[in-house]
Structures are given as C-alpha cells and as structure tokens.
Amino acid sequence: MRIATIHGRVALIDGAGSGAVDVEMASGGRFGSEPAGVYERWTEFAAWAGSAPLPLPEALEPESLGSPSPNLRQVFAIGLNYSAHAAESGFARSDTSPPVFTKYPSCITGPYTDIELPSGGHTDWEVELVVVIGPAARHVAAADAWRYVAGLSAGQDVSERRLQMAATPPQFSLGKSYPGFGPVGPWLVTPDEFDDPNDLELGCSINGEQLQVGHTRELIFGVPDLIEQLSRVTPLLPGDLIFTGTPQGVGIGRNPPRWLAPGDVLTSYIEGIGEMRHRFVASGLGGRGANSDPEEER
C-alpha cells in the first residue's frame, strides 16, 4: 500500500504511482481528510485500505503531493549512520549510540518543491530513508519494531553547514531546519511491499550527475535498532518521522567541498519507493517551499 498527501488530503496511490484515491471519499467519511488521522488509527486504517472496494483512481499530479505525514509532532534524525559517511565527515563511527538530533517540524515539505538557499550559506544534500511511525511505540524491542512502522519514504536532510558548524559542539538541528529543508515523499510504502525492507538502494544526483549511492543494509543502526533505542527514551507517536542517516557522497565530504547553487535540481530516489525532485533558488526569490503556502503544504 502507498499513502500520500495530495493538496493536504490523505490518499491511496496505485501500484503504478500514477493514480490516486481520496481516502475520505472512498471510505464514505469513516476516515477524514487529515493524514494525521490515519496514523492515529493505523491498524484500523490499514485493515480497511487492504480490503475495501475502491473507486477507480484519478490521475495524480506530482506537484500536488506533500509530505505523507505533514502535521506531525516529532522528527528524529540520525547522524553518522553509515561508516563511509562518518569517515568523510571526519568523525569516528559509534557502534553503541547514534547521534540523534531533530529537524523542526516546520521544515517538512513535499517531494516536488523549490527550496530557498539561505544567503551566505553552504547548503548540502543528504538523501535518507525516512520511517513513518504508525502505532505509538514505547519500549519496543528491535524484533517487534517493524509492527510500529506505517511505511517507508524518501527524504532529504538538507543541511546548511555554516550554521551547523557555527557553535561548539555543532548545532545540527538549527542548520537543518530552514523552511523546506525536510522534503519527504513521494509517498510512503508499507513494509510488506518490499522483498526486504532492510536492504534498499538510495541515492541522489544534481543536474543529472549522481553524487550519492548507498544501501540501507549498510546502516550501522538499522530501522529496528533505531526504534528500540529511541522508544526506550521517548514515546514514538503516530505520524512521527525518523530520518535514518545518509550514505557517503555529501558536499562537505568532497575535496574541494561542493554546495548547492541557485538553479541546481536535486533528484533523490529510493528503490521500491520512488523519486523526489527539488529545485534550489536564491534567497528572497520566493521559492515554493514549506513557508510559502501553508494550505497547500498541509
């Protein structure tokens, strides 16, 4: 099953990724239009969506897609979760406890937007697997963790490195939370749709030049481990996101470093999920980011 947000309304997406069914209309009002509502009632929703007779899908316009979980309470992000990326960043890898930060929820946006580059910044790309939480998870063992995952999506942990490194120790959360710096999409795919949800290829390119490629089997802390570690500390709530970390190939790890420039088009993909495309624009030109049209981004 694939679930998306279209013009702020939760929808089911067909297998080809080209058609959509509005959940509120197809369920006769049993489920509302708010995406957050289906995560709150995830088990009931998944049972309905898996068995209900659905109307024919309507043509999907990619530009209408928002984040599959746009109105959410918590965003967890994991740093240095691939060995080669930890090395290119100049940090030792940790096998006991991953560095955890947040991307403030206002930076979450959809899969096809323009993103404004902060003036004077060094803005970098980080393609990541993103987990969307279904049922609330607290003290969940890794062996049970997939039951708490509504689905998997693609994400970009867009990062302004100057602000990130401006304080000691580095302030990851602030530098990664400018408007539009948390794109997620194009939809979520439920774990049962994958041959192996623990091994997916992910990557990204700028203007057609591939810069990152990795496989989630290389995660130091995989999805089950992350849910065990995080849920030991804080409840994971329906609709919460976990950005699981990026593989090697980011701009700060290059010699010389490379940063996103106005006009660059960043294309990000994950095997079995789909593709996102973002265009970066100069500050002040009014990009169609998370801050420009709250109604559309809901």
Q: Rounded to whole angstroms, what are the CA distances from 206 to 220, 264, 278?
A: 26, 6, 10
34 binds Zn ion (CB under 5 A): no
What lies within 8 Å, CB to CB, of 293 at 6+ separation is none
Which residues, including other chains, have CB under 8 Å from residue 67's CB and lie 6 or more apart? Answer: 5, 108, 109, 110, 111, 182, 183, 184, 185, 297
Q: Which CB, 71 or 246, lies closer to Zn ion? A: 246
Does the footprint of Zn ion cover residue 246 (CB under 5 A)? yes
Would you say 80 or 227 has its CB closer to Zn ion? 80
CB 283 within 8 A of CB 108: no
Using CB under 5 A, which of the segments 45-53, 83-91, 204-212, 244-252 binds Zn ion? Answer: 244-252
Output the smallest distance, CB 176 to Zn ion, in A: 7
Q: State yes or no: residue 124 binds Zn ion (CB under 5 A).
A: no
Instruction: Select the residue interacting with Zn ion from 34, 116, 124, 126 (CB under 5 A).
Output: 126
* Cβ nearer to Zn ion, comparing 157 with 240: 157
Q: Which is nearer to Zn ion, 12 or 80 (CB)?
A: 80
What are the counts of helices (DSSP H) followed by strands (DSSP E) for the chain? 8, 19
Sign of torsion, CA 53 55 57 63?
negative
124, 157, 228, 297: which one binds Zn ion (CB under 5 A):
157
Tell me how many residues contact Zn ion (CB under 5 A): 3
Cα 91 to Cα 74: distance, rounded to the nearest angstrom: 26
Q: What residue type is assigned to position 230 of the chain?
A: L
Of 45 and 259, nearer to Zn ion (C-beta) is 259
Give the binding site for Zn ion (CB under 5 A).
Answer: 126, 157, 246
